[in-house]
Amino acid sequence: MNRILDAALAGLGLAIASPALAVAAVAIKLDDGGPVLYRQRRVGLQGEGFELVKLRTMTVGAERQGAGYAVNEGDPRITRAGRTLRRLSVDEIPQLWNVVRGDMSLIGPRPTLAYQVEQYTPRQRRRLEVKPGITGWAQIHGRARLPWDERIELDVWYVEHRSPWLDLKILARTPAALFGGTYKGETGGWHA
């Protein structure tokens, strides 16, 4: 049932967001002429890899420059259009396609990179017991403002306590977290 609901809501979200995606695509192209989408290998359910899709907000090849996969506030690799897309979380909208495909869920821990998963403790590996999500318990409790270990602990708490009621609570609180203007530069969530 959860999978059907995820796919239906994600499909509806893509349809509703298509005008915003079109405007964002034009802005990205006009900014530097590079590709609109950015694809990156992430770790999902039970440690399986999948290709995450995002709007590109950084210069082409940014992961091979500067701080690599780490993104800090004011990072010069972030494009002009990218700053706005990140602030409004518009860059995340294509991940609804990952939900439609079944790689992700609407609610769950944010998907991370393989090198980060390799550093998990056995307890932290519990994050991989559920599909990664577009939003989650850690996102509504501070996002990138929280230390990495604290975000992982919040995600593990979610895995241990997940329920339809908790998912509804997360969905209801996500808009406030998104539009609160929290910077999304973090090692735990490469946003290229």
- Say which residue the tokens 């919040």 belong to: 154
pLDDT-derived band at 74 (thresholds 50, 70, 90) equals confident
Q: Residue 150 above 90 pLDDT?
A: yes
For position 175, what pLDDT does the model report? 86
Q: 37-58: buried (b, 16+ CB within 10 Å) or exposed (e) per residue?
A: ebebebbbbeeeebebbbbbbb
The count of other CB atoms within 10 Å of the CB of residue 36 is: 15
How much of the chain, in percent, has pLDDT values that exceed 90? Answer: 73
pLDDT tens track for 4-31? 999 999 999 999 999 999 999 999 999 9
DSSP string, the chain: -HHHHHHHHHHHHHHHHHHHHHHHHHHHHHHHS--SEEEEEEE-GGG-EEEEEEE--B-TTGGGSTTTT---TT-TTB-HHHHHHHHTTGGGTTHHHHHHHTS-EEESPPPB-HHHHTT--TTGGGGGGS--EEE-TTGGGTGGGS-HHHHHHHHHHHHHH--HHHHHHHHHHHHHHHTTT-----TTS---
